[in-house]
Amino acid sequence: MKKFVVILLLAVMGYYISITFFDIGFGDSHLVEGVVPVKDAYLNETVNSLNVANTVTSIVVNFRGFDTLGEVTVLFLAVTALGGILYKKRHQAGERSVLFSASKVVTSGSKLLFPAIVLLGAYVFIHGHLSPGGGFQGGVIIATGFLLMLLAYENFTVGHNTLSVIESLAGITFAGVGIWGLIYGGSFLENFLPVGTLNDLFSGGVIPIIYIAVGFKVAAELTGVIYTVLHEKG
């Protein structure tokens, strides 16, 4: 009885939502006469005055950089809450994450693949302003590499203190760049380095520096999450 009522209510809600979205239209330009669209302003300013090739990177780091600082803070709070909820005793030496190591093929293959995955992740977050990619994508790829090593070997450890130090230094770098922009330029996260030419590695002012810091921070955080959850016993 309850299921039929729920299905009926959801069908009515879905009908009205779908009618609204079918009226908007798919693939139209949604322009209103007399109003300058924000999309054109962002696209023109990205290629002309910032000399950055990837528009999404310039929006995330430069035009809406404060929201990225908020997102990094929320991710940090979530990881801290997760570590606080799954409380357990002090980490004994020789504690295993999986019951036994995998077969010979998997262990030797993962030992060869791990540096390649870390190199790919570092390439993705260093070239965030030239091609699709950026800090979050590169950090998650590096965390996936660490997950592969943690699942293949039974005694692979990553120092918890090392991860904490890397994460804290990256966060301090992000906030420090913002405060330096405040002192030097006049507003928080202002661009104070010279913008180079298009498609150069050192172009776009502070955008590569911020994205490298975000890449390191996300990689260290997600590796810590995987490590905490994997060593959780019955």
Q: Which residues bind another protein (CB under 8 A)?
A: 2-3, 6-7, 10, 13-14, 17-18, 21-22, 24-29, 38-40, 42-44, 46-47, 53-57, 59-60, 64, 67-68, 71, 74-75, 78-79, 81-82, 85-86, 99, 124, 131-134, 136-137, 140-141, 143-144, 147, 198-199, 222, 225-226, 229-230, 232-234
Quote the CA–CA distance of 77 and 96 in Å, as a whole number.
Answer: 27
Radius of gyration of the chain (CA): 23
Distances in Å between the alpha carbon of 148 and those of 5, 112, 185, 223? 46, 11, 44, 11
Quote the CA–CA distance of 187 and 220 in Å, as a whole number.
Answer: 29
Is the CB of 93 or the CB of 99 nearer to another protein? 99
CA atoms within 13 A on the CB side of 188: 9
Is the CB of 106 or the CB of 198 nearer to another protein? 198
Residue 65 CB, nearest approach to another protein (Å): 11
Residue 46 CB, nearest approach to another protein (Å): 7
Interior angle at CA 197, CA 129 and CA 71, nearest 5: 25
Residue 184 CB, nearest approach to another protein (Å): 26
Is the CB of 104 or the CB of 233 nearer to another protein? 233
Is the CB of 47 or the CB of 179 nearer to another protein? 47
Is the CB of 156 or the CB of 180 nearer to another protein? 156
Distances in Å between the alpha carbon of 194 and those of 66, 86, 131, 191, 203? 21, 46, 20, 8, 8
Here the tokens at position 38 are 């924000």
Residue 183 CB, nearest approach to another protein (Å): 27
Residue 77 CB, nearest approach to another protein (Å): 8
Which helix (H) or strand (E) is 135 found in, with range?
helix 135-152
